[in-house]
Every structure is written in C-alpha cells, then in structure tokens.
C-alpha cells in the first residue's frame, strides 16, 4: 500500500551551508520570512495550507504562534515550529528546515528529536570545504535505509572558479560519499534565486537537474511507503490542487508540473498481432529461456506488390 501522507523532506547541513537559501529556492514564489530562517530557532516544519502557525512544546501541547513573535520561541521548551503556506513545493511534500548541526550555541538534541520524522534528507555542504569529517560523523548516525532517498547538494559551487577545480571537488565528494546518498548535485542556489523567469540561468544553477531528482524521490517514497496507522484503505496521497492565485509562479513549479504530467500519462502497451492462417514465421534472433523467441510474421504473398512472385516459386530459384 502506498503512503497516505505527504513525504517529509528534512533540509540539513552545517552552519552557513546554504540551507535557508535552498529552502527559499524550493518555496519558489513564496519565500520564507527572514525571521523564519534565523539560526536560533528550533526545526521549522513547513506544510501547505492556510492554517495558523503554532509551536509544538516538549510537553506535547500545541501553542498558537504569531509569526511576528518568532524571536520569543524558546529552544528549551519547543520541539518544533509548524508553519502553513501556499507554496509550490509544499503541494507535493512537507519540508523540515533544521538548525545547523555545527552551531556551537545549540545542543544537537534540538534537531535530533525531529530527525526521526523525516523520510529523506537534502544535505547541504559548502563547495569550498565540502563534506567535512563532522558532517560525515553526523550522517553516519542516520538509518541506512534513508540513504537511497537522500541527496547531497554541493552548494555555492560557483565559488570554485576553475573547471578543473570543480571537477576535482566533485570527484572527491562523490568518492567519499559513495553509497551514502542517492546522488550528489553541484548547485548555485543564489543564482537560482536570482534567475526569476530566466530558464537559461535556472539551468546553469544546477537546480533544474536537482529538482528532477527530488521529484523522483518524493514519488518513490510515496510508492514504496505504507499507510499511516488508522489510514489503511485510504487512497495514495496526491498533490494539493494548485491555487493559481498564489502558486504555480516559479520555475520549480513548472518543472514539477511537467514531470507530474509525464507520471500521469498512461503507458500504452502494444500487443502482438495474431498470426493469420497461411502466414509463415521467421525467427530473427536466437531464443533464450528468459526472453523466448522473437518472431516476425510475413505472408507467402509479398504485401504491397501486386505482381510479385509467390514465395514458393522463389524457393526454387
């Protein structure tokens, strides 16, 4: 049975690795408030909808939240902040924006207690010091089954100027993270944010390629998932309907809509035609146990040539 809730994608990495910029790129035409991306906040769980924001306390109770008072949210008493917005990416999945793992002023418990909720991780690593030992140490504590659905983004890749240097960095990171992530993608997130409607700049940023991979991961999680307790028998989760007055204005929205159309296009199977009486069979390749014979039928009468000689006469020539 497929997943009956939206996949939850955590955005993680060290301090100043590009997590907040990535979150804003994914949010498309609805970027987050600057206060929401502050470093001294607990995890921020983003979902689609018009509902009011709230905080989830460590006591298990939810408390109403005025986003103008974000600075007053306490790390000591709050598990996470839940914010609802009508944004392109949130039609397909929930995002959990985690604090930096290397923030010296914050205990790792702040993000560790939310990590179990994530189905996948988008890990940001700064290109000029990509995949540090501290990052490797934290990622090694995550469940191995999460690796196939997680992506490593080498951010600020435009900061590396030479093509040969870029190739060296990417080669090293891929070697050191082999089998730790589904794939590694170099991206320039600021370039993607500044692209606007310029598809050429969007493509140059590397975010288009990464977005395609993210779409596939979201639907892999759905297809291979399981219903939530009590949701047995419910239909597979589908994207929220687009509110065209508020979403569908970003390039990532166009990418996802295009891929969704492909995903929803039924596959037409062409069945082999029956061999008519009087037709002969010509084997075109050696059959195997797995594939069986591949055969092409043809008539004793050469089709399309009215005065053509009969095949039986050709045999005697």
SS (H, E, C) the chain: CCCCCCCEEEEEECCCCCHHHHHHHHHCCCCCCHHHHCCCCCCEEEEECCCCCEEEECCCCEEECCHHHHHHCCCCCEEEEEEEECCCHHHCCEEEECCCCCCCCCCCHHHHHHHCCCCEEEEEEEHHHCCCHHHHHHHCCCCHHHHHHCEEEEECHHHCCCHHHHHHHHHHHHHHCCCCCCEEEECCHHHHHHCCCCHHHHHHCCHHHHHHHHHHHHHHHHHCCCCCCCCCCCCCCCCCCCCCCCCCCCHHHHHHHHHHHHHHCCCCCCCCCCCCCCEEEEECCCCCCCCCCCEEEEECCCCCCCCCCCHHHHHCC
Fold of the 8-264 domain: Rossmann fold (3.40.50)
How far apart (Å, rounded) are the C-alpha atoms in residues 243 and 87?
A: 9
Q: What is the pLDDT confidence band of residue 279, given thresholds at 50, 70 and 90?
A: very low
User: What pLDDT was estimated at residue 292?
Assistant: 52
Q: What is the pLDDT confidence band of residue 303, given thresholds at 50, 70 and 90?
A: very low
Q: What is the pLDDT confidence band of residue 88, given thresholds at 50, 70 and 90?
A: confident
Q: What is the pLDDT confidence band of residue 304, given thresholds at 50, 70 and 90?
A: very low
pLDDT one-digit tens code per residue, 166-194: 999 999 999 999 999 999 999 999 999 88
Among the ranges given (67-81, 164-178, 197-211, 264-278), the one the predictor scored with the smallest mean pLDDT: 264-278
Among the ranges given (54-63, 164-173, 193-202, 243-252), the one the predictor scored with the smallest mean pLDDT: 243-252
Among the ranges given (34-48, 202-216, 269-283, 303-317), the one the predictor scored with the smallest mean pLDDT: 303-317
pLDDT one-digit tens code per residue, 221-268: 999 988 888 888 888 889 988 777 766 667 888 888 889 989 888 766
Give me the percent of the chain exceeding a pLDDT of 90.
Answer: 53
pLDDT one-digit tens code per residue, 115-125: 989 999 999 99
Mean pLDDT for the stretch of residues 60-76? 91
Residue 282 has pLDDT above 50, yes or no: no
User: What pLDDT was estimated at residue 248?
Assistant: 65
User: What pLDDT was estimated at residue 311?
Assistant: 39
Mean pLDDT for the stretch of residues 268-292? 52
User: What pLDDT was estimated at residue 309?
Assistant: 43
Residue 23 has pLDDT above 80, yes or no: yes
Cβ burial of 109 (10 Å; 0-12, 13-18, 19+) is: exposed
User: What pLDDT was estimated at residue 274?
Assistant: 55
- 142 vs 2, higher pLDDT: 142
User: What pLDDT was estimated at residue 214?
Assistant: 96
Domain boundaries, the chain: 8-264, 279-315
């Amino acid at each position: 049975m497929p997943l009956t809730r939206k996949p939850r994608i955590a955005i993680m990495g060290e301090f100043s690795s590009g997590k907040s910029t990535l979150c804003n790129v994914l949010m498309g035409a609805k970027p987050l408030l600057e206060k929401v991306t502050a470093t001294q906040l607990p995890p921020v769980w983003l979902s689609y909808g018009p509902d009011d924001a709230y905080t989830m306390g460590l006591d298990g109770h939810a408390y109403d939240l005025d986003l103008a008072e974000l600075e007053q949210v306490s790390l000591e008493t709050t598990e996470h902040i839940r914010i609802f917005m009508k944004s392109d990416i949130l039609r397909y999945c929930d995002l959990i924006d985690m604090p930096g793992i290397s923030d010296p002023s914050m205990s790792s418990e702040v993000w560790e207690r939310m990590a179990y909720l994530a189905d996948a991780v988008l890990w940001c690593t700064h290109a000029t010091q990509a995949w540090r030992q501290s990052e490797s140490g934290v990622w090694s504590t995550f469940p191995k089954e999460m690796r196939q659905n997680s992506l490593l983004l080498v951010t600020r890749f435009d900061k590396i100027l030479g093509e040969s240097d870029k190739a060296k960095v990417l080669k090293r990171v891929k070697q050191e993270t082999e089998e730790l992530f589904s794939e590694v993608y170099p991206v320039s997130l600021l370039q993607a944010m500044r692209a606007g409607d310029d598809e050429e700049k969007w493509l140059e940023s590397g975010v288009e390629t990464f977005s395609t991979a993210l779409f596939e991961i979201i639907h892999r999680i759905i297809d291979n998932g399981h219903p939530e307790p009590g949701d047995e028998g419910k239909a597979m989760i589908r994207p929220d309907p687009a509110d065209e007055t508020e979403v569908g204005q970003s390039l990532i929205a166009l990418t996802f809509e295009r891929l969704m159309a492909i995903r929803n296009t039924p596959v037409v199977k062409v069945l082999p035609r029956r061999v008519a009486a009087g037709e002969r069979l010509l084997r075109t390749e050696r059959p195997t146990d797995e594939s069986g014979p591949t055969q092409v039928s043809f008539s004793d009468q050469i089709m399309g040539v009215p005065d053509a000689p009969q095949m039986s006469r050709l045999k005697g020539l």
